[in-house]
Amino acid sequence: MLSEPEVEVGIGTTQRIIAMKPTILSCAVTGSFTTREHNHNLPISPEEIANECFAAAHSGAAICHIHVREPETGTPSMNIEYYREVVKRIRASSTDLIINLTTGPGGRYVPSDEDPAQAAPTTTLVSPIVRTEHVVELKPEICSLDLNTMWFGGGAVINHPPAVKAMAERIYASGVKPELEVFDTGDIRLARDLIHDGSLKPPMLFQLVMGVSYGMDATPQSLAYARSMLPEGSEWAAFGASRHAYPMLAQAFLLGGHCRVGMEDTVYLSKGVKTPGNGALVEKAVQLIQTLGGQVATVNEARQILGLSLGN
């Protein structure tokens, strides 16, 4: 069965209390699309990104999802040196934190105006080997594996099945657990096919992305339907883009899922109030989960729930 929040059951005068499973809280600290024009507190350099991971962990996040940027410009980067520095800083610290590295960059195709069959200069499409080289070398506990093919952010994101299979093979061979990022219900159907042919190995971890244009709407109905499609035994989390961040966090919790927040997803702490950093976003998420009657998982609890080795 899919994981469910446990409840208090009462029959007549007899009452049975079942402990609710802790909710894993992830923080996506920088992403690829947010800029300092949106919020000047966005972390850019490897040191800033690592420090924001520490702040998120201190506030209650068990997992940090990590992209890297060019420190001088803030533009998205795939430079493995930046990943090395961020991971080295985290592993050298006293922070017990599950590292989740992205493999999303490198999947974008932008057609040129003159000839759509030719790539525009902003195309980043590269091989599965390049997209996963930092994962193979640095061996985080988790890495994202996007299953979407869609128009997104001014380009076509292409994750065709042969590339996904090749990336999955390298991820598993490195001892890393893939987090399947799905943006629409067809992505879940692809995941099921890849499980059936052995390319993906259950139990799965899904991240349901809600509120991105041309993907799933950030509504309770869309989230409930997507959840209903997930394979039996899967762990799952969800997040909402922009103003949907906290409504979707609450919905994910209420449906028995785990939660994500962070400056990749929103730069606002509340309407009109820009967040001073990722730590404040995580603090609000913890308060919301607790207000709804939940408990945020410790890092070791998160490792147990996800089947990771304790003490990594």
What was the pLDDT predicted at 310? Answer: 66
Q: Are the CB atoms for 3 and 256 separated by under 8 Å?
A: yes
Q: How far is residue 182's CA from residue 265's CA, in Å, rounded to a whole number?
A: 15
What confidence tens digit (pLDDT) does each residue in 98-130 have? 999 999 999 999 999 999 999 999 999 999 999
Q: How far is residue 93's CA from residue 111's CA, in Å, rounded to a whole number?
A: 43
Residue 277 DSSP symbol? S
Residue among 97, 102, 50 nearest 76 (CA): 102
Please state the φ and ψ torsions of residue 199, each to the nearest 5 degrees. Answer: -70, -30
What was the pLDDT predicted at 8? Answer: 46
What confidence tens digit (pLDDT) does each residue in 64-84 have? 999 999 999 999 999 999 999
Q: How far is residue 278's CA from residue 12's CA, in Å, rounded to a whole number?
A: 46
Topology of domain 8-306 in CATH is TIM Barrel (3.20.20)
pTM of the model: 0.92
Other C-beta atoms lying within 10 Å of the C-beta of residue 209: 25
Q: How far is residue 134's CA from residue 171's CA, in Å, rounded to a whole number?
A: 10
Please state the φ and ψ torsions of residue 43, each to the nearest 5 degrees. Answer: -75, 140
What was the pLDDT predicted at 2? Answer: 52
What was the pLDDT predicted at 13? Answer: 39
Residue among 280, 236, 238 nearest 262 (CA): 280
Bridge-based pairing state of the strands 177-182 and 155-157: unpaired
What was the pLDDT predicted at 16? Answer: 38
Joined tokens for residue 140: 């985080």
Tokens 């959840």 found at:
227
What was the pLDDT predicted at 6? Answer: 47
Joined tokens for residue 297: 């998982």
Residue among 250, 237, 260 nearest 306 (CA): 237
What was the pLDDT predicted at 309? Answer: 81
What was the pLDDT predicted at 312? Answer: 44
Q: What residue ranges of the chain have pLDDT lower than 70?
A: 1-19, 310-312
Q: Locate the domains of the chain by residue range.
A: 8-306
Verify cis geometry, omega within 30 degrees of 0, for the bond prior to 202: no
